[in-house]
Amino acid sequence: MLTVGGGTVVASCADGRVTIRSWTPNQGFSADSVERGPTRTASVEFESEEEEYTAQVRCDDSGAPTARTEADDGHRGRGGDDRGDDRDDD
């Protein structure tokens, strides 16, 4: 499970393509514009009355799904690079 701005996403990778299996908006958010895949980059938008995030999901070099979240103002939202685990990639 990938934690992204506005919600969570469950995705899987096969042959370098990602598929979003499910998504859950956080309380106060709804999901919109879902591009499930399979594709090189899948996406889902989570929006509330005050905020909007677009989560782009891809497969990393090891074949695991990873997500990057962008806020509606073009700045990076919370969620950054998230592989759904506690690894520190710095």
Q: Where are the domains of the chain?
A: 2-71
Name the residue with higher pLDDT: 85 or 28: 28
Look up residue 72 and give its two tokens: 């509606």
Confidence band, pLDDT 50/70/90 cuts, at residue 72: confident
Q: Is residue 25 reached through a cis peptide bond, with omega within 30 degrees of 0 on the bond before it?
A: no
Phi-psi group of 37: left, alpha or beta (phi > 0 → left; psi -120 to 50 → alpha; rest → beta):
left
Q: What is the pLDDT of residue 70?
A: 92
**φ and ψ at 59, to 5 degrees?**
-100, 135
Q: What is the pTM of this model?
A: 0.76
